């Protein structure tokens, strides 16, 4: 706990809109970056490389960043992350071209990593274990709002004002977190006193922990499904002739579904065990990806995207709650960093591999292969629960 019940509530109430602001830039910029690259003649593989850059530095630096949060507290990483997000969105506005897109994707990815690790660490320390799942559900609910706003804003800004205006709009949004965090009024966790001596065994010790290992693996699969939807819906939509607004609407339908399922998450948690929620999430996602290539109308894609959001949106709060419950004392930030590093390793490799497959044999095998992985993960999660 970082304060009394009222202080914790105020901190969470402020943290959620700050997360919405920065996350809307991340989710919206992915749409703008992908469509801007495609407008310049980029191939699906090149788009995959661009999206992979969002995950490159987080893949390499998340564990170190998590340890840093344990040592110095949450405020400075959140400030630094917000600055990087603002600069990343500004680059393509100031210097249009592919080079700026590469730099933008890299800065946006590492900036949001720093902010998110500190925000998740803060959320895990608000209250005790009894309120942890609820708090993470509320934080995830905020990210559902930003996941809806970001792509929708991106699509309409591109259609009505162009790519540079879309980047300019996203560059202004991180100013809100910077002002709030810079004021020093928000109560955030300080350094963990045991963090300097708590890292016995390093990362391998965390990976040998049976429950944490299962949590890491399931979260990687959930993230794979999430990333595939983010990366290939713009490509697939452009291929079948959808406008930027229609593509943004399909992506926002996914975000709307994550909001719905997370709104009801406290009720779901009371009725189902965590392995049941995670298994259902993976199975639903697998089925949706099998159906995607058969759908070419906007209503059908909206429905599939919404169903996918219901599945994948239910998984993250459960994963984060389990992670904070089972992480060793003084190593919550490091465990969150390991999780993020594994997720970003998947997010870095998947666009490259899937982009290469999409460029050579088409998009349909990409949807089906990932769908098979997710469905298999659902059955494994169910067996693990037993």
- Count Cβ atoms below 10 Å from residue 357 Cβ, excluding itself: 17
**pLDDT surpasses 70 at 1:** no
Q: Looking at 24-33, 191-200, 202-211, which range is the least confident one?
A: 191-200
Largest CA distance in the chain: 57
The answer to whether 54 and 282 have CB atoms below 8 angstroms apart is no
**More confident call, 241 vs 347:** 241
What pLDDT digit, counting tens, does each position of 260-318 carry?
Answer: 888 888 788 778 777 788 888 899 999 999 998 888 888 999 999 999 999 888 887 78
Q: What confidence category does residue 76 fall into, taking pLDDT thresholds of 50, 70 and 90?
A: very high
Question: Both tokens of residue 196?
Answer: 């300097």
Q: How far is CA 291 from CA 202, 224, 308, 311, in A?
A: 42, 17, 11, 14
Q: Are 54 and 70 in contact (CB under 8 A)?
A: no
pLDDT for the residue 378: 83
Band (pLDDT 50/70/90 cuts) for residue 105 is: very high
For residue 92, what pLDDT is reported? 95
Q: How far apart are CA 307 and CA 257, in angstroms?
A: 7
Residues of the chain above pLDDT 90, percent: 26
Identify the structural domains of the chain with CATH numbers, from first to last. 5-183+204-385 (1.20.1250.20)
Count of CB atoms within 10 A of residue 127's CB?
18
Pick from 37, 169, 53: nearest CA to 110: 53
Query: How many CB atoms neighbour CB 372 within 10 A?
Result: 13
pLDDT at residue 4 in the model: 59
Distance CA 335, CA 326 (A): 9
Percent of the chain with pLDDT over 70: 92
Q: 128-164, pLDDT tens digit by residue?
A: 666 777 788 888 888 888 888 898 899 889 988 999 9
> What is the distance of C-alpha 52 from the center of its chain?
13
Query: Which residue is it, tokens 């991106």?
Result: 154
89/3 Cα distance (integer angstroms) = 35
112: pLDDT confidence band, cut at 50, 70 and 90? Answer: very high
- Name the 3-class secondary structure at 339: helix
Question: Residue 30 phi/psi, 5° resolution?
Answer: -60, -40
pLDDT over threshold 80, residue 84: yes
Confidence of residue 194 (pLDDT cuts 50, 70, 90): low
The tally of CA atoms less than 13 A away on the side-chain side of residue 49 is 13
**What is the per-residue pLDDT across 313-327, written as a single tens digit (0 to 9) for each?**
888 778 777 777 777
Convert 10-39 to b/e letters by CB count within 10 Å (16 or more is b): bbbebbbebbbbbbbbbbbbbbbbbbbbbe
Mean pLDDT of 214-231: 83
Q: Which residues contact 238 (CB under 8 A, 6 or more apart)?
A: 35, 38, 247
CA–CA dist 309, 250 (Å, integer): 11
Distance CA 343, CA 106 (A): 16
Tell me if 174 sits within 8 A of 22, measured CB to CB: yes
349-383 pLDDT tens trace: 776 777 777 777 777 888 888 888 888 888 777 76
Q: Are the C-beta atoms of 42 and 238 separated by less than 8 Å?
A: no
The residue length of the chain stands at 386
The 3-state DSSP class for residue 258 equals helix
pLDDT over threshold 90, residue 29:
yes
Contacts of 351 (CB under 8 A, 6+ apart): 47, 48, 49, 51, 52, 227, 231
Any idea which residue has 């599939």 for tokens?
304
Mean pLDDT, residues 96-104 taken together: 94
Residue 127 reports pLDDT greater than 70: no
The rounded distance, in Å, linking the Cα atoms of 18 and 177 is 5
């Amino acid at each position: 706990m970082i304060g009394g019940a009222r202080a914790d509530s105020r901190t969470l109430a402020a943290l959620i809109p700050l997360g919405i602001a920065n996350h809307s830039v991340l989710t919206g910029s992915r749409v703008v970056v992908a469509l801007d690259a495609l407008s310049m003649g980029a191939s699906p593989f090149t788009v995959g490389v661009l999206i992979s850059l969002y995950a490159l530095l987080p893949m390499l630096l998340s564990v170190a960043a998590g340890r840093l949060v344990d040592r110095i507290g949450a405020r400075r990483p959140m400030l630094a992350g917000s600055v990087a997000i603002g600069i990343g969105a500004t680059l393509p506005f100031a210097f249009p071209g592919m080079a700026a897109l590469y730099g933008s994707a890299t800065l946006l990815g590492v900036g949001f990593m720093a902010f998110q690790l500190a925000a998740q660490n803060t959320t895990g320390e608000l209250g005790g274990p009894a309120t942890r799942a609820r708090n993470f559900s509320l934080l995830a609910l905020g990210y559902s709002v930003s996941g809806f706003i970001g792509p929708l804003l991106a699509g309409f800004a591109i259609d009505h004002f162009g790519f540079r205006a879309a980047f300019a709009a996203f560059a202004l949004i991180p100013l809100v977190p910077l002002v709030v965090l810079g004021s020093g009024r928000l109560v955030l966790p300080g350094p963990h006193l045991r963090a300097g001596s708590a890292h016995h065994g390093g990362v391998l010790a965390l990976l040998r922990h049976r429950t944490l290992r299962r949590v890491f693996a399931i979260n990687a699969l959930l993230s794979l499904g999430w990333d595939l939807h983010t990366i290939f819906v713009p490509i697939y939509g452009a291929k079948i002739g959808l406008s930027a607004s229609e593509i943004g609407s399909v992506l926002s339908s996914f975000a709307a579904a994550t909001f719905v399922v997370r709104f009801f998450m406290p009720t779901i948690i009371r009725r189902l065990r965590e392995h049941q929620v995670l298994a259902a999430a993976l199975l639903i996602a697998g089925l949706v990806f099998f159906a995607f290539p058969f759908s070419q109308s906007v209503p059908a894609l909206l429905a599939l995207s919404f169903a996918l959001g219901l599945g994948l949106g239910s998984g993250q709060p459960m994963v984060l709650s389990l992670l904070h419950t089972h992480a060793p004392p003084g190593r919550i930030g490091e465990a969150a960093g390991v999780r993020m590093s594994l997720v970003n390793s998947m997010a870095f490799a998947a666009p490259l591999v899937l982009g290469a497959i999409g460029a050579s044999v088409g998009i349909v095998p990409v949807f089906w292969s990932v769908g098979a992985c997710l469905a298999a993960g659902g059955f494994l999660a169910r067996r693990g629960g037993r």
